[in-house]
Amino acid sequence: MRLSMYDTASRQIQEIAPGKDAIAMYCCGPTVYRDAHVGNLRTFILSDLIQRTLKLQGSTVKLIQNITDVGHMADDVTVEDKVLQQAKKENIDPFDIARKYEAKFHHDLALLNIEPAAAYPRASETINLMQKMISTLIEKSFAYVGSDSNVYFSVKSFASYGAISGNRIDSLQPGHRYEYTDEGGKLFHADWALWKSAGERTEMIWDSPWGPGFPGWHIECSAMSMDLLGNHVDVHVGGIDLRFPHHENERAQSNATTQSESVALWVHGEHLLFEGRKMSKSAGNVILLSDITARGIDPLALRLVVQENRYRSQMDLTWDSIESASITLKRWHRKMELWGSSLIVKKDEEIFASLMNDLDTPRAIQRLRTIERDVAMSDEMKRAVFLYANQVLALGLEVAKQLSLLPENCAVLLAQREIARSNKDWARSDALRDELAELGILVSDTSQGQEWDFL
């Protein structure tokens, strides 16, 4: 049995790369002009689940994830590059902005136990690849230089445009949501820019056969994936909102270049809502990973809630659901210690089958809860199965809680409290417990003595 997933283009569940052991994977990465919010991170967790599940089935994976540091427009009205806009706002060099948020992106991934990709190519460093592809597209008459010196992809030259999203060229009405004020050089309203002429812009521009300028947003993914993955992607991952136009355009560019179906399977992760609404600045409900850690919650609790929901469903995140996952995660850590220290991993067929079936992580987690309560199963076996699931769910269950992190002053208080307890000095014991609580340490008494945890 191998991993099968829902393919947006064919609208069917399909096996990933049948018969292949080495799998080429691509995931659309962040535009590095701000912190990734937990909605963005949900998609990256999805990508990680796929990579880990493919490895679990014995495949090797080459994952490429782009870093968009140039060319992503804030909107089509102001024609302002997102990175440049932020650079102005923070009053620092645009490339410094990009590197700053790129570093924070990697930091977030690490906190969520997301395995690094094989490469994170930057748009600004693959300009030559993009230019090469644009030249090819012009040669093959899929692209043209517009009257405004921008280079455009000609939608009408690409017959199967709309295959992923279901959109039809003739129903894509121009100016449906707002009036276009730029890109006057297009021959057809649905054409999009591959290369934009610099115009007044002086930063983040490059020379090109079509004059100084900068790349359009969609071309980077085509250029990077085709170059780094050998003209074929077995599985392509991204958020649902990228289905159109980004992935539709990417597919057109790649297919037109290679004259073949460049991506075998398109996986789209649904949105994460926060308290009923799509996360957005205007709704004021943007949650960052740092907001979660600021509440003293393990970032992996986020990973757990996300995985308790199917990736193809919109998911409504609330502080309650995060805290609920946090409680479960803490308990599992405790149980794992209780169950021993063996590193033996035992495959569980039910968990394996759930994962292979379109990444049914909720079912896999339900199975873990059943195992946790199973009185017939030995502790060693429970631990081994949890370690098995942990290879994909990546909840950090293999790591023992780091008792050494207890601050020294707290350790002293704990020791004093132990003495007080042995003398049945309850007043002193309770006072010390309160004192520790103020320092962020939760103390509990068990038949084995005191235990502590961070609040």
When binding is defined by CB under 7 A, the residue of 74, 353, 377, 411 that contacts RNA is: 74
Window 32 to 61, contacts with RNA (CB under 7 A):
37, 39-40, 42-43
Binding RNA (rule: CB under 7 A), the pick from 172, 198, 288, 377 is 172
Structure tokens at 450: 């005191």
Footprint of RNA on 339-358 (CB under 7 A): none
- Near RNA in 361-400, by CB under 7 A: 362-363, 366, 369, 373
Is residue 195 part of the contact set for RNA (CB under 7 A)? no
Region binding RNA by CB under 7 A among candidate stretches 194-202, 238-246, 291-299, 381-389: 238-246
238 contacts RNA (rule: CB under 7 A): yes
Residue type, 163: A
User: 400 and 418 in contact (C-beta within 8 Å)?
Assistant: no
Residue 192 interacts with RNA (CB under 7 A): yes or no: yes
30 forms part of the interface with RNA (CB under 7 A): yes
Based on the shown chain and the rule CB under 7 A, indicate whether residue 313 belongs to the binding site for RNA: yes
For RNA, the closer of residues 60 and 280 by Cβ is: 280
Stretch that binds RNA, among 89-97, 162-170, 197-205, 289-297 (CB under 7 A): 162-170
By CB under 7 A, residue 421 contacts RNA: yes
Number of Cβ atoms within 10 Å of the Cβ of 130: 26
Residues 90-149 that bind RNA (CB under 7 A): none
CA dist list (Å): 424 to 1, 115, 418, 420, 430: 60, 50, 10, 6, 11
> Looking at 52, 72, 303, 382, which residue binds RNA (CB under 7 A)?
72
- Per CB under 7 A, the list member of 23, 26, 31, 307 interacting with RNA is 31
Asked whether position 273 contacts RNA by CB under 7 A, the answer is: yes
Q: How far is the CB of 253 from RNA (least distance, A)?
A: 14
State which residue, 196 or 246, has the beta carbon closest to RNA: 246
Is 435 among the residues that bind RNA (CB under 7 A)?
no
To the nearest 10°, report the CA torsion of 174, 180, 182, 186.
Answer: 10
| CA pair distance 169, 178, nearest whole angstrom | 18
